Amino acid sequence: MLAQQLGGIDLHLGDENQLRRLMQDEKLRSTETIRLKKLHLDLLKQDLAMEAMYDEDFTRSAMVMQWGQFLDHDLDFTPVDASISRFSDGLGCNETCVNDPPCFPILVPPGDPRIRYRCIGFSRSSATCGSGSTSILLGRPHHREQLNQITAFIDASNVYGSDEFDANQLRDLVYDEGKLRVGMPTAFNKPLLPFNIRGQVSTM
């Protein structure tokens, strides 16, 4: 539908499309390899040191950051892999410290007094069909590419949805005012998010 509106040209701007890279991906060992760090350890240490430093800004408020974050969430949203258990034996990704797809645990340095576990559970984001492991099945090995679940326009799709179905799910269809559905009112006259009565997950 989007391609038809753009004169038949598919610019991959609709939802469920592969994220476009701004830079060429680095050549890694396999289609599923993750780049762990920069090539030079000194640069990595420098980045960690910079995290503790910041410059004060007397002309901009935190609203600039919040607006930038809103725009980012409006342009791209990568869903987490549908499976949160490793494929080999079904063990949960939060129960293993072994890198076994789709699990990619974050190892905790030995002797770290802040964390008493050996690793922190981590699941990778969903890959587009034909990239990563599935690219081998197609005979065209290609590095893993991420999926964009919303439209790549500044269209408030993170609020109103990327298609008509999602938009109708979020709208208050009782009154023809085009407003979003809301939930129970609070003491401050600001309603909560609505119940998701049609799905398995509630937004409350």
Burial class (CB in 10 A: 0-12, 13-18, 19+), 135: buried
Which of 172, 121, 177, 126 lies closest to 149, judged by CA? 126
Q: Which residues, including other chains, have CB under 8 Å from residue 88's CB and lie 6 or more apart?
A: 100
Q: What gap in Å lies between CA 96 and CA 190, rounded to an integer? A: 42
| 73 belongs to the catalytic site | yes
Amino acid (one-letter) located at 16: E
User: Two tokens at 142?
Assistant: 């290609």
Which residue is catalytic, options 12, 40, 73, 142?
Answer: 73
Among 66, 74, 72, 68, which Cα is nearest to 155's?
A: 74
Say which amino acid occupies 173: L
**Planar angle of CA 13, 18, 22, nearest 5 degrees:** 85
Token pair recorded at residue 31: 């289609």
Active site residues: 73
